[in-house]
Amino acid sequence: MSNPVAAATGNVTNQAVQFQNNGAPSRQHYGSGVSCNGSTMTFSPFYMGNHTVPFDENMDQRTYTIAENWGGQINFMFPLDRKGLAQCRRIAARQEEKMRLDYELVRVLKCAELQQKGFMLAENTRVYSLCNDVVPIVKYEKEKQAAVKQYLKETCTPKKGRRLPWKEKEYECPKPTLITNDSTN
């Protein structure tokens, strides 16, 4: 009678790599519901390693197995609707201009409130220059009139002749010379 015996051993390694990008493009947010998709490049490196010390039927260590996998994936994604992207960027630019205008108006308003209450930002501080360009209209008009009078006095000559008492003095000023970059002379 025969008693055939067959023994087989084997080792199976089943590995998989899954990338979770979900096709999500880059998105820039510009406030109040304005967000534009942009081009995106992603690089996803991976390493899978398996170091095993298998045992035989007598629980003796006979071998040492190393299985290593290295790799990477590069994804390029870009919006196909160029007109829509261009329009979104124009809207974003207007949104940015509006935000800048809002900032400047609030800055001027708060500086004027400080000045009306008799306060100012201290010199030699990092915020001193925030309110330097906020001046009352009356002060601006007086300084402008003084500058014009100073210019007329220093640069121009009074016109000769009779002047009516309720009219201001008239002046003749030299015509400004234009500097041209003409290389034909």
Q: Are 173 and 150 in contact (CB under 8 A)?
A: no
Residue 83: C-alpha distances to residues 29, 79, 80, 96, 184 (Å):
18, 10, 9, 20, 47
- This prediction has a pTM of 0.49
Average pLDDT, the chain: 80
- What percentage of residues in the chain have a pLDDT greater than 90? 16
Q: What is the pLDDT of residue 46?
A: 83
Return the beta strands (E) in the chain as ranges.
26-29, 35-38, 40-52, 65-77, 157-158, 171-172
Report the alpha-carbon distance of residue 151 to residue 145 in Å, rounded.
Answer: 10
Fill in the amino acid letter for 148: V
Whether 185 shows a pLDDT value over 60: the answer reads no
The lowest-confidence range among 9-13, 76-80, 127-131, 175-179 is 9-13
Whether 75 shows a pLDDT value over 90: the answer reads no
The lowest-confidence range among 6-15, 48-57, 145-154, 158-167 is 6-15
pLDDT in tens, 106-137: 999 999 999 999 998 898 999 888 998 888 88
Tokens encoding 158: 């009074």
